[in-house]
Amino acid sequence: MSRHDVVVVGAGMAGLTAAVRLAEGGATVLVLAKGVGATHLSPATIDVLGYAPDRVDRPLEALAAFAERHPGHPYGVVGAAGVAAAVPWFAERFADGPLAPYAYTGTADENLLLPTAVGVLRPSAVVPETMAGGDLRDGGEVCVVGFRALKDFHPRLAADNLSRHPGVTARGIELDCVPEGRVDVNALGFARAFDDAAFRKDVVARVAGRLHAEERVAFPAVLGIADPHAVWSELQDRLGRPVFEIPTLPPSVPGMRVFATLRERLRRAGSRVVLNNVVTGAEHRGGTVTGVRARVGLRDVVHGADWVVLATGGFASGGVELDSRWAGREVALGLPVAGIPAPGEERFGPAYFGEHPMARAGVAVDADQRPVGADGARVFDNVLVAGATLAGAEPWREKSGEGISLATGHRAAGLILDAAGSAQRSAVAATEG
């Protein structure tokens, strides 16, 4: 049995955040995951709070009142201070990360309004530098450039919808350039092409003469995977105006940049992610977990741990399941699931984008992110829960998903480092005394 200070279960935003902070804080960390997490599917903007239920302009200010109105919400656990601490920490990971000088910009104090791929303006707080130029709070003229070969990104559709926002004038143009030798190309294929100077030159040549004087230029978020800062800067220089990325449907290139950065930080700190480990339960003595059981191929193994961070995601990622009798189950450690509407109560609302009480189901935690049962008592003393596994949020409606994952993952790591540090200090004091 291997032994680690911390086993983190899940390799999405919350799990990687917790793991990196722990490893950089000196802990030995093992990240176990069934597969790669949702970073690859995420626009990779840090949405802290977008709607509550009206659009939020200043998320950090709005957090306290929001948490008060939503008892049991993860933001009530981490507080505005938890968010305020996590955001700069995240941005700093990029500063000397593998993709530097690619950077994040913005603060949790105010939301930008960035276009989606269908031309809706979405509030988001902290974003890749390559997206910040798309902030249309004050309106503006936008030329959305797309590629015929890139599925699911339609510049004219995005532009038509953008033009419906007051103060925004947008038009779309579609280019016919295909990365060399390719037939069916996804976002990553285009990102690799953009890493190539010849492809960039071709794109610039096709766009440059067609722009109006005041227009800024939007591209799908495919501006480079190896060195996105260089690609984006060069396009701005050559086109002589702001250029920005609009997130695409999966695979998300900006999400892959987050994954690459956090995974590399983790590796440098001496820890790693091990995939194809499906965690199936906890070994425990009373309320203390001593290790996690995992299924690896056809074999079962136990990974010993002093601490466990559970960050397997919610219903969408399979971290939480619902059976045909409406009983919820947290799949990795078998923790109780809270918030499942009782028989007779409303489970789903009639509107797709409306309120769905079921979405708030998840693992309930106490103030220290320990899982609790229906009676409010802790299930395990050394398990902390982070990210979309947590009960109480409706991240799609609130536009709070990454903010919750980042803040709860960051804080879980901090709580463990503090506890381990004070245990060490009392051990030292005991020896000295």
Partner 1 sequence: MTAHDHHDVLGTLMRDSLDHCVKCTICETFCPVSNVTPLFPGPKYVGPQAERFRVPADESPDDSLDYCSGCGICTQVCPQGVHIAEINTQARAKLRERTGFKLRDRIIARPDLTGRLGTPAAGLANRTLRSRPLRLVAERVLGIDHRAAVPSFAGRTFQAWAKGRTSPPAQRRVAYFHGCGANWYEPDSGQRTVELLEWLGCQVDVPRGQSCCGLPLQSNGMFGAARKYVRRMARALAPAARQGIDLVGTSTSCTLMLKREAREILGMDEDPDLRVVSDNMYDICEYLVMLHERGELRTDFRPLPLTVTYHAPCQQQGHGVGKPALDLMALVPGLRVIENDATCCGIAGTYGLKREKFDIAMDVGKGLFAQIGDARPDLAVCDSETCRWHIEQATGVKTVHPVEVLHRAAGLS
| Interface with partner 1 (CB under 8 A) | 1-3, 30, 33-38, 40-41, 181-184, 186, 188-189, 192, 250-251, 256, 264, 267, 272, 274-278, 295-300, 317-318
Residue 330: CB minimum distance to partner 1, A: 17
Specify the residue, 198 or 429, whose C-beta has the smaller distance to partner 1. Answer: 198
Chain-centroid distance of CA 120 in Å reads 20
Count of Cβ atoms closer than 10 Å to residue 355 Cβ: 14
Residue 298: CB minimum distance to partner 1, A: 5
Specify the residue, 35 or 240, whose C-beta has the smaller distance to partner 1. Answer: 35
Pairing of strands 288-296, 299-310: antiparallel
End-to-end CA distance of the chain: 35
Specify the residue, 36 or 204, whose C-beta has the smaller distance to partner 1. Answer: 36
Query: Interior CA angle at 80 toward 79 and 84, to 5°?
Result: 125
Specify the residue, 40 or 360, whose C-beta has the smaller distance to partner 1. Answer: 40
Specify the residue, 29 or 420, whose C-beta has the smaller distance to partner 1. Answer: 29
Residue 68: CB minimum distance to partner 1, A: 35
Q: Distance of CA 317 to CAs 37, 70, 175, 389, 400, Å?
A: 8, 24, 35, 9, 17
Point out which residues pair with 144 in neighbouring strands. Answer: 172, 218
DSSP 327-372: -EEETTT----B-PPPTTS--S-SSTTS--GGGG-BB-B-TTS-BB
Take residue 336 and report the two structure tokens written for it.
């109780």
Residue 257: CB minimum distance to partner 1, A: 12
CA atoms within 13 A on the CB side of 318: 12
Specify the residue, 236 or 290, whose C-beta has the smaller distance to partner 1. Answer: 290
Residue 288: CB minimum distance to partner 1, A: 21
> Which residue has tokens 């509550």?
52
Residue 310: CB minimum distance to partner 1, A: 16
